[in-house]
Homo-oligomer: A and B are copies of this chain.
Amino acid sequence: MLGIYLDNVRKTTPLVHNITNYVTVNDVANVLLACGGSPIMSDDIQDVEDITSICGGLNINIGTLNQNTIPSMFAAGKKANALGHPVLLDPVGAGASTLRTQTALKLLEEVKFTVVRGNISEIKTLAAGSGTTKGVDADVADAVTEENLDSSVAFAKAVAARFGVVVAITGAIDLVTDGKTCYVIRNGRPEMGKITGTGCQLSGLTTAYVVANPEHPLEAAAAAVASMGLAGEIGWSNMLPTDGNSTYRNRIIDAIFHMDGAALDKGAKYEVR
């Protein structure tokens, strides 16, 4: 049952330091508030160590990385490591450019991450050390499906074991694994892909859940992934005929705002492999 991991977020109000892209940053902040966390954004090299020190965890998202913020990611990551804070990596667009791929790989080398969350193409790029991601969305050819589920789970476990992290690969079917146990999660709606930033939001959420459940990073990450998918379902059920992707974005965050552990327990659809 995953609900307890959400309830722990609401009980403890984890403060999350986000170094994230400017495209979806407002939604990341609002979804962190919606789940019961508290967000801070800071990406200047002279600011990040102080800020990460007062937080419980760090969310690094490379969606609009640049020459100023890349050093801040390393500095904040190392400081968080020194303090024992959980750190999440969202390797947005790894495989789409050399800078993104190399930055994500170097971060994985120099910073100890608790969770890496990305789409299947991004995670394949990290596993291979290079890649050809088509933009910030996963390649259709890469998708995790019922047909390739066994091999996908094996792949996810291998990546998690190799990097020593919890890996969350999100898409139509989500996989969350620490290398031994894999949560296969079937919540969500395909229309979530028509909103910018549901992945970024999930990375923020996941960081909050992991901070609030320090002994259970795997289950916390699985709970975050299931709650985002469930919010997508609930938000969709509240859509009016003229609503589109912009309103859907609000309805998903609103659904997180109203969700508690009991609702998550009731709505989460997953198996453990």
State the A residues within 8 Å of B (CB): 15, 21-27, 29-30, 33-34, 38-47, 50-51, 54-55, 63-68, 93, 96-100, 134-137, 194-197, 234, 238, 242-247, 249-258
Contacts and interface: CB of A to CB of B under 8 A. Distances in A.
Contact of A30 (B29, B196, B234): B196
Contacts of A67: 44-46, 68
B93 A34 contact: no
Contact of A196 (B26, B197, B247, B250): B26
Contacts of A100: 47
A242 B63 CA distance: 31
Contacts of A258: 242, 244
Given A245-B253, A246-B249, 8 more contacts: A26-B27, A39-B196, A51-B97, A51-B135, A54-B134, A68-B68, A194-B257, A242-B254
The complex is assembled from copies of this chain, and their number is: 3
Nearest to A39: B196
Q: Which of A44, A251, A255 has the most CB of B within 10 A?
A: A44
A53 to B, nearest CB: 9
A241 to B, nearest CB: 9
Nearest to A55: B135
Contacts of A254: 242-247
B23 A24 contact: no
A55 to B, nearest CB: 7
24 contacts: A15-B135, A22-B22, A26-B27, A27-B246, A29-B196, A30-B196, A33-B195, A34-B246, A40-B136, A41-B63, A42-B64, A43-B64, A44-B65, A44-B67, A47-B65, A47-B100, A54-B96, A54-B134, A66-B68, A244-B254, A246-B251, A246-B252, A246-B257, A247-B251
